[in-house]
Amino acid sequence: MEKHVTVATVRYAPNSQRPWMVNIGAETYFTHQNDDMYSYFLFTRGGPYWQEVKIPFSKFFLSSRGRIQDEQHPLWLDKVNTIGFTLGDQADGPFQLEIDFIAACNDRTHTEEIAYELYKRNPEV
């Protein structure tokens, strides 16, 4: 993916109202970063109709081994190698998520790099 791509678009048809997580894995240089993943919570509305959501890449948060990291880094879009979906409600029973397409597009109105407040352990005064 190119640097100017800012938004992921997903068109899906959920059969029930359940929380999902969209997960993105990227290539890493160091082996201790192999468990790093960028995630976004997707809450479906249910119903029989196709729904489309645009997710800015700046809204994906960095976690490692299931723990959100204090220090967030922007996702390197040219290093993305996996996209996955996780059902997150721990409810037993059938589920279904039909995906029509996943696309990356450029939204020139979106300029945010990281959507979350960054925590600094020893802020400089």
pLDDT digits (tens, 9 = 90+) for 71-95: 888 888 889 999 999 988 888 888 8
Helix (H, G, I), strand (E, B) or coil at 79: helix
Sequence ranges of the domains in the chain: 7-105
- Tell me whether residue 61 is exposed, middle or buried, using C-beta atoms within 10 angstroms of its C-beta: 0 to 12, 13 to 18, 19 or more: middle
Single pTM value for the model: 0.81
What is the C-alpha to C-alpha distance for residues 33 and 44, in angstroms, rounded to an integer? Answer: 30
Q: Token pair for residue 14? A: 């959920």
Among 64-68, 72-76, 114-118, the range scoring the smallest mean pLDDT is: 114-118
The residue among 119 and 69 whose pLDDT is bigger is 69
CA dihedral in degrees (6, 108, 74, 41; nearest 10)?
-50
What is the rounded CA–CA span in Å between residue 85 and residue 41?
10
Given a cut of 60, whether residue 53 has pLDDT beyond it is yes
